[in-house]
Structure 1
């Protein structure tokens, strides 16, 4: 029999190795930008076409390469950073594995122009499928220009797995931001299809943060600066009111290298404990500098995961530094109370407390009881009376509640177990439970705490969460609009201009088509700007900008779940954003319409995320509660 083990050809081995490093256009962008930083460049320009699928071009004014180095840099494991094994534990550069350019050359067509400052002529090299096609001297500016064209042209299966241009562009912007955020002292620019997306002048870290994340952060940053013998921590964290529903604006760097660390992120979250809601995430841009001997950066191909020699001490330092910064700026939790709107209208609150009223109050027995010494043991003598439970009910109160419950209890003929669980599958016939949940035609609905609705039904009553119920209604309405008749658009009398960050602008471009079906009429208006010409009817005039900004934030929150399609994430975001908020006072007509619309839904008892929209209280369950 013939031998079955054989060596792979070089071009196949290179493509397999490239799969670890170059997973999408953004991966190549990261590697090329980091090489430009390591070359000592002060200006780095990134040009991409078709979200990097047809062109990724990086131009820098770094030290450049000699003719020999230019040829050798495309070989696997070729690097200027490592000479011996000990060098792995003293790495202060971005790249060091020697696989970046080899991986790029294995899956694209590459053109390299480079010249050292001391040379008169530069070097031009053309590589395709890991094979050098041409090498010759050329006229070139000092530094390096490398262009990779037609990514994955020789691996069609990999190219087919790439996402839409808008989605891939968002990944490229993310990588560009991570590198440019780490080096604010360098100039960076990014252009896509001939349009400039970023133009970042050299400056301080705070200036770079504001340039990238937007002017809204200018007054929301708290400086962090701690120096110890083991490590130094510096950067900025956001004030609690800058917290968002997504993790998007969180950047952690170790020795200027962007990393992901759930462990250190937990330290940050603990520093904000009780300062922000549990479902919100703080903004931070933090740099941790420590001896390279105390970390191992060679644990992941993309180098975004590292190992610390002592994770616990880093955790403690990070948490303490952020807490100290927040305390220094007197940022403390504020107490919030839910106050019934009716209380605000009462005479005791709205009318002044006159001098006569103050005198009468101070002379009252109640006031004297609480103001004299040993008041805890003082009992005012007087006529005592026995108050029965029924004496406390206002006139007509008992009868009103009896009228409210009795028709429902009399109509209850269902003797089935109250613990029956209804199948939530789409094919389930909801007609049977709907008959149980049918709303009574007569009898008022009752709103509690401006958040819940008590609705009389045939077997008893339903306790409805008005926000979750509205979410379910809107979700089904939007889902139907995407596959059937588009929703009506309410034209704005005065169109609103929306200025977004480059990341959000790219996301908005991706969503424009589907948002049009859902009633939004939004048109591009120059770089990173859009004009809102119309919105769905349930968006109040004047709230268009806030509504769309919150929608994008909510969409990014749902984007972390890969099992959802783009449309599913969009309609969930819209339903969550446009639903009635707790604290909204509803009229009888509005409450009845809301509950009726809910019970008409295809799946009325749960939201799209599986949360119950109402709780059913029938006669048997109520009797069991009271031991009858």
Structure 2
């Protein structure tokens, strides 16, 4: 008896549907894409029980011809491509011809549609992939699709659905990218008869404010770059604010995931582990330069020439957050005397002996003096293969643990190359006689902290050693700075490659615009 056999038709349909439709949000995504391809200017989404009971998407698009309606639930039927070569120039949101077939196979689905060129529409009711009812139907031009009891015949998938609230959050996450990519389309989303999103047609800027708030918009920087057949534009998070946790990437208005681009942007910001910069990036590219036929859900994309994409992205970042003059503090004399007394002759002050406040063209900036100096020292150390040493007037004697002494011996050559001079004596005692010339002073506590931190690493690399030296040699919180020292600190900070974070990823400064101040004082 043969052990290998063909799947039954209903089993094939169910397995294929599971590849395209993972959860209610997958249904919402596919139906919205169909509405957009139908050139709808208004899309209404109603959801019940997180989409497990009902998902209804209505639009005012061109509609479906009556004779075509029974065909839309058949697998590999589409109005969007005809030949193999069409796959190389996809301009529509949908193209695989699987969405409605997959949805109808695992639900009870009703499709009501009237094409704009016909006087009467049609309704079909499909259960488990089979048409059970069809009749003429009166409605305005457009399409309404209602999906009920998702996965009713696929219990192994239905039992893995999450709570209604969790599934609705997933639906909302799918809807928001469409709202951003198509701001000219009116978009409504309701859950259990409660309106959640109600967006009128507008600009991308208006959508950002409506969805995420004015504070989010104020903390983003608009950019635009272009090259041969490629244009990249959107918004990047200011490097001077905490992560805003919004990341959207669009390729020809399609929301996609590209790990290389996400990592490229994250690496540039150099944020602490776990933090991710926010960005909303639109890549407009000739269709033949990309491959969208990678994943059944069309969430991934391949670029024919990734190098061109990354080169343009690098240019965009440099022009936006990397430009040296963008946040440069332009100090100017106080016209009518200093706010804090005549001793100050510049618009720069120190507060709590820890932070430097300076006026900028657009507001003010708060600089963490320790983090800023740490960044300055770190990049100075990075630029040189070695540093001259300056002798200490009074050598410092420090006693270490046996483990620390062993680690000190391992990195002795590196420390000496960068200007440290010391002698290891008996009893784990070390006499420190010299320090790098770029460091003004150092204490026993600083030396102990450097060695203790390095000792925690099994095999400390050069970069880790330099970070530790910079951190524990920098200006401390509580150190009093003169006006000249504050101005020099800010000027040196903005001459570094990455002025917005310390080597460990903490922010060096916070930028507060005049608009933010006016909102705080309710002037706006």
Instruction: Give the TM-score of the pair, scaled to structure 2.
Output: 0.62
Partner of 1:290: 285
Q: Tell me the SS of whatever aligns to 2:187.
A: strand
Aligned to 2:252, which of 218, 230, 255?
255
Separation (CA, whole Å) in 1 of partners of 2:89 and 2:103: 26
Pairwise CA distance, 1:223:
1.4
Pairwise CA distance, 1:268:
2.1
Give the root-mean-square deviation of aligned CA atoms: 3.6
Separation (CA, whole Å) in 1 of partners of 2:83 and 2:217: 46
Separation (CA, whole Å) in 2 of partners of 1:151 and 1:22: 10
Pairwise CA distance, 1:267:
2.8
Which is greater in Rg? 1
Partner of 1:324: 319
Change (3 A) 1:147 1:343: closer
Task: Encode CA deviations 1:592-611: one digit per residue, 9 max, x unaligned.
Answer: xxxxxxxxxxxxxxxxxxxx
Conserved 8 A contact 1:242-1:283: no
Conserved 8 A contact 1:222-1:329: no
Pairwise CA distance, 1:279:
4.9
Residue 173 (structure 1) aligned with residue 172 (structure 2): yes
Q: Tell me the SS of whatever aligns to 1:211.
A: helix
Separation (CA, whole Å) in 1 of partners of 2:178 and 2:56: 16
Q: Tell me the SS of whatever aligns to 1:172.
A: helix
Change (3 A) 1:15 1:230: same
Pairwise CA distance, 1:183:
0.6
Aligned to 1:280, which of 263, 275, 278?
275
With a CA cutoff of 8 Å and minimum separation of 6, indicate the structure with the bigger relative contact order.
2
Unaligned 5+ runs, structure 1: 345-386, 394-448, 455-462, 465-581, 585-628
Pairwise CA distance, 1:9:
2.6
Separation (CA, whole Å) in 2 of partners of 1:165 and 1:178: 21
Unaligned 5+ runs, structure 2: 330-349, 356-392, 398-442, 454-475, 479-524
Partner of 1:239: 238
Separation (CA, whole Å) in 2 of partners of 1:243 and 1:310: 33
Conserved 8 A contact 1:243-1:281: no
Partner of 2:308: 313
Conserved 8 A contact 1:117-1:142: yes
Task: Encode CA deviations 1:505-559: one digit per residue, 9 max, x unaligned.
Answer: xxxxxxxxxxxxxxxxxxxxxxxxxxxxxxxxxxxxxxxxxxxxxxxxxxxxxxx
Partner of 2:15: 16
Change (3 A) 1:341 1:112: same
Partner of 2:458: none
Conserved 8 A contact 1:56-1:148: yes
Partner of 2:31: 32
- Equivalent residues in 2 for 1:387-466, closer than 5 Å: none
Partner of 2:190: 191
Pairwise CA distance, 1:81:
1.2
Separation (CA, whole Å) in 2 of partners of 1:329 and 1:61: 49
- Equivalent residues in 2 for 1:63-78, closer than 5 Å: 63-78=62-77
Pairwise CA distance, 1:328:
6.2
Conserved 8 A contact 1:121-1:137: yes
Change (3 A) 1:18 1:329: farther
Separation (CA, whole Å) in 2 of partners of 1:329 and 1:181: 30
Change (3 A) 1:9 1:235: same
Worse-matched range after superposition: 128-137 or 229-238: 229-238
Pairwise CA distance, 1:118:
2.1
Pairwise CA distance, 1:333:
8.2
Change (3 A) 1:342 1:182: closer
Q: Tell me the SS of whatever aligns to 1:144.
A: strand
Separation (CA, whole Å) in 1 of partners of 2:5 and 2:173: 41
Separation (CA, whole Å) in 2 of partners of 1:343 and 1:93: 55
Q: Tell me the SS of whatever aligns to 2:123.
A: strand
Partner of 2:47: 48
Task: Encode CA deviations 1:171-230: one digit per residue, 9 max, x unaligned.
Answer: 111100112211111111100001111011111111111111222123222111122223
Partner of 1:138: 137
For this pair of structures, how many residues does the alignment match? 359
Residue 304 (structure 1) aligned with residue 299 (structure 2): yes
Change (3 A) 1:242 1:186: farther
Separation (CA, whole Å) in 2 of partners of 1:149 and 1:103: 14
Conserved 8 A contact 1:79-1:97: yes
Q: Tell me the SS of whatever aligns to 1:23.
A: coil
Q: Tell me the SS of whatever aligns to 1:241.
A: coil
Separation (CA, whole Å) in 2 of partners of 1:71 and 1:342: 75
Q: Which has the higher strand share?
A: 2
Separation (CA, whole Å) in 1 of partners of 2:15 and 2:248: 31
Task: Encode CA deviations 1:454-487: one digit per residue, 9 max, x unaligned.
Answer: 9xxxxxxxx99xxxxxxxxxxxxxxxxxxxxxxx
Separation (CA, whole Å) in 2 of partners of 1:193 and 1:329: 51
Conserved 8 A contact 2:226-2:312: no
